[in-house]
Amino acid sequence: MGVLQHIQHQISALNDLIKINNDRIAGYEKANENTNETGLNLLFKEYTDQSKNNVSELREYIRVLGGDPTDGTTLSGKFNNTWIDVKAAFISKDRHSILADCEHAEDVAKKAYRTALDDKELIWEDQQVVFILKKHLESLRVAHDTIKALRDAEVSA
């Protein structure tokens, strides 16, 4: 793979992570609409802000590489948010189902970051971007574990 192709591959991977974060933002905004529970509203707002910060950092690095950052979401994210809308119209959203949806979204986001970091064709030579991606992944892991613990506590309550 040539240098230009390598850079384009990195830009594409980082744009995919922007899309995942945009999905996460949309998902938490939707979850926030489905609950009036102050504690969850604050948590969902925190995770929305976290993803907005992630997007900002990824956009900045894409520009360093000479690329154009995306503004979109993934196609699966659009389908997932549409499905959440359909489910909300027919099923009342209880705390457990909201948290289960959020946990699933966290699993998807973690997997996307892990895939980007493990992709052998990307060969992340700049340790700054590796640091950023690992930092994002760790924050996603913490968010996942928090959401999962809240969901599990709901089952045992």
Please state the rounded mean pLDDT for residues 132-139. Answer: 97
**How many domains does the chain divide into?**
1
- Check residues 128 and 51 and name the one with the higher pLDDT: 51
> How confident is the model over 68-125, as pLDDT tens digits?
998 866 555 555 554 455 445 445 578 998 999 899 989 999 999 999 999 887 777 7
Cβ atoms of 124 and 10 closer than 8 Å: yes
Handedness of CA 142, 17, 64, 125 (dihedral sign): positive
The pTM assigned to this predicted structure is 0.85
The mean pLDDT value of the chain amounts to 86
- Check residues 82 and 47 and name the one with the higher pLDDT: 47
| C-alpha distance from residue 81 to each of 3, 29, 48, 127 (Å) | 37, 10, 15, 34
Q: What is the CATH number of the domain that holds 38?
A: 1.20.1260.10
Residue 135 has pLDDT above 90, yes or no: yes
| C-alpha distance from residue 67 to each of 15, 21, 55, 61, 85 (Å) | 9, 18, 14, 9, 34
Residue count of the chain, please give it. Answer: 157
Give the domain extent around 151. Answer: 3-156
